[in-house]
Amino acid sequence: MDFEQYMRVALDLAVQAAEEGEIPVGCVIADGQGRVIGSGRNSRERSRSVTGHAEIMALEEACRARGDWRLDDCTLFVTLEPCPMCAGAMINARLGTLVYGAAEPLSGSAASILNLFEERYPGHTAIYGGILAEESRALLSEFFQKRRQPSSSGA
């Protein structure tokens, strides 16, 4: 499985999220045959929901596509290291593999703050971090720089 190929799809979703005013995070899930069965992008602002994370959207779609909550032969690709909520959902789905781009020093729960996947939960998730990390980080940096710029409306 070509990790970079799937991460580029996740990056495209992150760009779409940024265009909608959302923090640019994108996610795709591929099954054991490499078919994309779930995708998502951040939607917290639009949905006004704390669970509007790219990973949650992709996990829900993948479970519907499978007709099952177990994703043990699937790989989730996300542009930013998952938070505790998303990591917990992946653990509960018995996710086979997690691939992420940029580290998340404020809430990362696959390495940065802690690694929830190392705890004694059922199942085992293989983790690969830093895949297209620079592209993911640049997209996030650009988004937050634009957000901090003062409005030029003169009002």
pLDDT digits (tens, 9 = 90+) for 93-130: 999 999 999 999 999 999 999 999 999 998 899 999 99
> Given 55, 61, 81, 104, which residue is catalytic?
55
Residues 6+ apart with CB under 8 A from 73: 31, 32, 96
Confidence category of residue 152, pLDDT binned at 50, 70, 90: low
Return the closest-CA partner of residue 136 out of 7, 36, 29: 7
**What single DSSP character describes residue 99?**
E
* pTM, full prediction: 0.94
Contact 10, 79 (CB under 8 A): yes
- Active-site annotation holds for 134: no
